[in-house]
Structure 1
């Protein structure tokens, strides 16, 4: 029988998000403490991750104890600037259709039991803020990360506190079903405590862990051509020979977190990891083929350069925006057109500027300190604590100010249009030509650039460019 790992997110003293006088860490520990005994009474072996571990240590702790048939779930509570945003979502490793189904099943099990929660969907980890989730990617066991509710929403917070037992039982139902799908076995009914043995025997030695495999072979296609070697499928994830990675021009030695697997004297790497190196990764379920493409309609070397050209059409920008907020264009119907026109005038990549706007405004849902009527799409002058920042007379001028601010960071060239950015003079010109260099500069968030880059990749994937 497979075991179940359960982790309450934000350990090692990190409180996570907060609201209503409580924190994410506190609520997830309380929820975890309800889940674990229910699982045990149903006969499951549960491994609860210690609360003093950070993410890296959590992953190491699980991987050290992993056995085939195990599953792992980490529970979190989300937060957003708009207090009206609420609901439950669950993340799985991108490109794994089996894991997607598991995630959907667990989410629907919870929502059937607690219908007051809003369904925000099962999502690939590429849709998370920074474009990948370590818990989904680096845990060896099949793993999922659930955002149970929003700490920033009073209704969700009330459900977490007042319906904790009900939520826990629903999650247990989902975990039980998932464990059976992965391991193929169900726990035996727990036996009553035996009477003391007057002549106790020593504990038997644990059974040796079976060797890894056999793993099913999969086909590999590169730039629409079949590749001679085969890959393997591990826990629903496509792995390809590491020799192939070298041929694709990808250097994995710079990423110590990349997990390599040796099987039958061949070293493999998880295919989805190549996505971070501008390799398009897809899956054809009909032919069991992982599809890799390095022939892209965008220039990989320019993808993160602020002073470069955009690659999408206005329609593609509109569709991407509406797929994340169906009401996004209600107040700003011409915004994709405006961004393209204004950015091209200054030589700024309009895709980057547009994705930054999506991050700053929550895909035009706003809800933070900056309000829609301000036409401030990049938080210019907003420093938190209720400070609303700058206001602009129109959407076009607001977008122009943001683009000028980006140009200030990325270039020494003079502006083409008259200055409208009120904070242009405070920037050291040309100090941040790359998206990643905006972190800690445009915003205090050290993951700020990663979030823009993750959104940019999602945009290009939705447009079929990556």
Structure 2
């Protein structure tokens, strides 16, 4: 049996500014996950399973590098987190897996089943693809060279979940340990492990590649349920991977392959059909979704598409502001801001209009604008329309030097250096201190376009 790499993660995967350590709850995610990690290690050790705990002081990037330096064929990796958000609908456990990977989805379902069998009172949020997160992907699920999952154990910001986590820690650890053992046993049956005992002798099954519905001359390969394509194909699609060393490469039978899912970051649409071993790619991206995507311009989605996307992520989103999509589309067109971008940023800032003590929906502060004078109070607006307008005006202040069309309602408009952030990526470190802020907005924007059928 292989080994298990276990990381006690830091910070929620939702990517919101209020994620992370709790204030006033007498605990932090770091403390809770470290304690849970120690119990899981004890449970696995008692089952004679070798487990390697990632050092707590490592950053997320260092954690992945630490695991990749040590992980081998047959091993698996798990990160445990506890979100700090407080809405009731976010309670419970979720397991994230790499999108479009059927076998990894099965592993995620097995893990959460084992956990809930031991702790049935913990709400089940299910197994979800990492593309459902605000970043559109989770590096822990994608960058580790062997199968990996990310388990969000509970909503630490919710009193019931927090109490359950603290009172049933051993039961939770036992459930997770049992799920991990089941996962390891499943790994022993995979073709890549049955083929040979050394990596040099492993045979990867081939997969068919379609580009714009035409058969590509070379085949790809399937590795641990993930399709890989020859790196030459990326050149054909106009994607220069030579300048992106972070994209994972695999040399097999004299050919260098790259993981197909990584092409999505370069505007390539793809769909993987595991039943037929077929990877379909579309090389002509109609929408710009890279780091230089501009904030100003025309949006592409309709009010209906925006509304359906919002409701798909939070069923009760429209109870407080039913006209939110109409407001963003109309107000953005007046100021020349891309309403798709502004709407996606609103979804990130408000977690799809969920209520939160630090940012109530009825404050209509959809862009997370700070109050003047260093006040600790959230900025409030008299109506949803004014809140949307202030958000768009603040975006325009960052994105260009053109004057406002409507009367200024953004109190911080004159405090921004005009035109300093013309692209979504430029918002990182400016609108938010988060260096990944722009990527998170882009991640939601991609999901919006995919749900609308534009990608």
Q: TM-score of the superposition, structure 1-length normalised?
A: 0.89
Q: 1:69 and 2:74 equivalent? A: yes
| Contact 2:86/2:155 (8 A) holds in 1 | no
Deviation at 1:303, TM superposition (A): 7.4
Alpha-carbon distance in structure 2 between the residues aligned to 1:384 and 1:183: 61
Alpha-carbon distance in structure 1 between the residues aligned to 2:344 and 2:388: 12
Alpha-carbon distance in structure 1 between the residues aligned to 2:420 and 2:453: 32
Q: Which residue of 1 aligns with 2:148?
A: 143
Q: Which residue of 1 aligns with 2:164?
A: 159
For residues 289-320 of structure 1, give each alpha carbon's deviation from its aligned partner in whole angstroms, at most 9, with x where no partner exists: 11111223324579721111111111110111
Q: What pairs up with 1:31-180 in 2 under 5 angstroms?
A: 31-80=36-85, 82=87, 85-180=90-185
| Contact 1:83/1:367 (8 A) holds in 2 | no
Q: 1:221 and 2:210 equivalent? A: yes
Deviation at 1:390, TM superposition (A): 3.0
Moved more, 373-382 or 402-411: 373-382
Alpha-carbon distance in structure 2 between the residues aligned to 1:411 and 1:463: 28
Q: Which residue of 1 aligns with 2:14?
A: none
- The 1:158–1:382 alpha-carbon spacing in structure 2 relative to 1, beyond 3 Å, is farther
Moved more, 122-131 or 226-235: 122-131
Which residue of 311, 318, 343 corresponds with 2:300? Answer: 311
Moved more, 82-91 or 406-415: 82-91
Question: Residue 122 of structure 2 aligns to a residue in which SS?
Answer: coil
Which residue of 438, 444, 449 corresponds with 1:449? Answer: 438
Which residue of 252, 258, 269 corresponds with 2:247? Answer: 258
Gaps of 5+ in 1: 186-206
Alpha-carbon distance in structure 1 between the residues aligned to 2:315 and 2:289: 30
Alpha-carbon distance in structure 2 between the residues aligned to 1:75 and 1:284: 29
Q: 1:239 and 2:244 equivalent? A: no
Q: Which residue of 1 aligns with 2:193?
A: none
Moved more, 228-237 or 48-57: 48-57
How many corresponding residue pairs?
442
Deviation at 1:385, TM superposition (A): 9.8
Gaps of 5+ in 2: 12-18, 191-195
Alpha-carbon distance in structure 2 between the residues aligned to 1:384 and 1:104: 49
Moved more, 328-337 or 372-381: 372-381
- The 1:376–1:37 alpha-carbon spacing in structure 2 relative to 1, beyond 3 Å, is closer
Q: Which residue of 2 aligns with 1:18?
A: 22
| Contact 2:98/2:104 (8 A) holds in 1 | yes
Question: Residue 311 of structure 2 aligns to a residue in which SS?
Answer: helix
Moved more, 349-358 or 278-287: 278-287
Q: 1:399 and 2:411 equivalent? A: no
Deviation at 1:368, TM superposition (A): 3.8
The Cα RMSD (Å) is 2.4
- The 1:123–1:427 alpha-carbon spacing in structure 2 relative to 1, beyond 3 Å, is same
Alpha-carbon distance in structure 1 between the residues aligned to 2:71 and 2:168: 32
Q: Which residue of 1 aligns with 2:426?
A: 437
**Which structure is larger by alpha-carbon Rg, 1 or 2?**
1
Alpha-carbon distance in structure 2 between the residues aligned to 1:52 and 1:405: 37
Alpha-carbon distance in structure 1 between the residues aligned to 2:372 and 2:427: 16
| Contact 2:4/2:75 (8 A) holds in 1 | yes
Q: Which residue of 2 aligns with 1:4?
A: 4
For residues 202-237 of structure 1, give each alpha carbon's deviation from its aligned partner in whole angstroms, at most 9, with x where no partner exists: xxxxx9844252100011111121112100111111
Alpha-carbon distance in structure 1 between the residues aligned to 2:424 and 2:339: 13
Alpha-carbon distance in structure 1 between the residues aligned to 2:380 and 2:72: 57
Question: Residue 171 of structure 1 aligns to a residue in which SS?
Answer: helix
For residues 65-92 of structure 1, give each alpha carbon's deviation from its aligned partner in whole angstroms, at most 9, with x where no partner exists: 2222211111111112658842211111
Deviation at 1:277, TM superposition (A): 0.9
Q: 1:344 and 2:330 equivalent? A: no
Alpha-carbon distance in structure 2 between the residues aligned to 1:249 and 1:384: 49
- The 1:318–1:384 alpha-carbon spacing in structure 2 relative to 1, beyond 3 Å, is farther
| Contact 2:265/2:289 (8 A) holds in 1 | no
Question: Residue 434 of structure 2 aligns to a residue in which SS?
Answer: coil
Question: Residue 330 of structure 1 aligns to a residue in which SS?
Answer: coil
| Contact 1:35/1:172 (8 A) holds in 2 | yes
- The 1:62–1:392 alpha-carbon spacing in structure 2 relative to 1, beyond 3 Å, is closer
Question: Residue 120 of structure 1 aligns to a residue in which SS?
Answer: strand
Q: Which residue of 2 aligns with 1:330?
A: 319
Question: Residue 150 of structure 2 aligns to a residue in which SS?
Answer: strand
Alpha-carbon distance in structure 2 between the residues aligned to 1:183 and 1:84: 37
Question: Residue 62 of structure 1 aligns to a residue in which SS?
Answer: helix
Deviation at 1:285, TM superposition (A): 2.8
For residues 262-294 of structure 1, give each alpha carbon's deviation from its aligned partner in whole angstroms, at most 9, with x where no partner exists: 000000000011111111121123321111112
Q: TM-score of the superposition, structure 2-length normalised?
A: 0.91
